[in-house]
Amino acid sequence: MGQVIGLLGVCLVLGVLARRSGRFPEGTAPAFNVFLLNVSLPALVLRAMHRLEFAPGLVVAAAAPWLLFVGAVLFLRLLGPRLGLSRESVTALILTAGLGNTAFVGLPMAAALLGPSSVPVAVVADQLGSFLVLATLATLTAARASARTELSVRTLARKVLGFAPFQALVLALLLRPFPFPDWLESVLQRLGDLLTPLALFVVGFQLRLKGLWPRVPALALGLSYKLVLAPLAVLGLLMLMPGLELVVKQTTVLQIAMAPMVTAAILAAEHDLDADLAVLMVGVGIPLSFATAPLLLSLVH
């Protein structure tokens, strides 16, 4: 757990220092974003989904992230405009509050707090939940919000089908009957391992706290949903489901309580959807989640 916190903190700080040093060009963040979305994330998805073993009893863990995103759409589209937020800002909040960092923070946190038995549940919540939401609903939401005119169904479908991580997902499912050779497993792992440090470096590079105060109402709205309201709502639903194993309940709530997904902020930046607000959601949400997630976990019995 300490290693996870240390990695996240160091990468964020390095990104901040890199921007202040002046040694990195202004185009650093967009260049890294393209690499992460088209190389590192597809490599991670291809390897993880090819190896994933899914059990029918884990459908609850897979469904929870979908409910999280749909709830974010309803909650933030209702309250966001009342704070005077633009369409772009509301969508940036939806992307970051509706998607949790279930892979790079959620998986190691689940293993540290709940033990090895929680890892399969956490993987299902991440791969069949968060990632599929990112590749479908979140991509569609970002595309529609960034378009100046209404997009046709064909155009929206093309954006989803052309999303490199989604293509990696389809390829991984098609190749499941065939084992990957060791050299390919190694290559995919090394490329996928770049995602966490580089993504957090980019967040730190883009993080600017000078304009934090005017953003506090929007941040409070997005983070209160992501870190408190949504996990409590999921916990309430799980308590109404008899027969669920405790580890499934605990892991599902923990994954929903994770900080905003780093890749969601990258997706917002790629579509010009208030990237500054999206980065603040991640930069502020990650350290807060280290306190709020264990507290919420303690409520699960």
How much is the pLDDT for 169? 82
Q: Which residues pair with 100 in a beta bridge?
A: 260
- Can you point out the beta strands (E) in the chain? none
pLDDT tens-place string over residues 195-223: 778 877 887 887 777 677 889 999 999 99
Query: Does the pLDDT at position 4 exceed 80?
Result: no
Query: Does the pLDDT at position 260 exceed 80?
Result: yes
Query: Does the pLDDT at position 56 exceed 70?
Result: no
Q: Helix, strand or coil for residue 100?
A: strand
Q: Helix, strand or coil for residue 260?
A: strand
| pTM attached to this predicted model | 0.81
Domain spanning 1-21+29-299: CATH 2.60.40 = no
Residues 6 or more apart whose CB falls under 8 angstroms from that of 272 comprise 88, 146
Helices (H), the chain: 2-21, 28-35, 41-51, 59-79, 87-97, 106-114, 119-124, 132-133, 139-146, 153-161, 164-174, 182-193, 195-206, 212-224, 230-239, 246-256, 262-270, 275-297
pLDDT tens-place string over residues 117-170: 887 788 889 888 898 898 889 988 998 888 766 667 777 778 778 888 888 888
pLDDT tens-place string over residues 243-259: 888 999 999 999 999 99
Comparison of pLDDT for 230 and 1, the residue scoring more: 230
The full set of domain ranges for the chain reads: 1-21+29-299
Instruction: Report how far residue 104's alpha carbon sits from residue 245's, in angstroms, rounded to the nearest whole number.
Output: 24
Cα–Cα nearest to 258, from 300, 216, 230:
230
Give me the chain's average pLDDT, please: 87
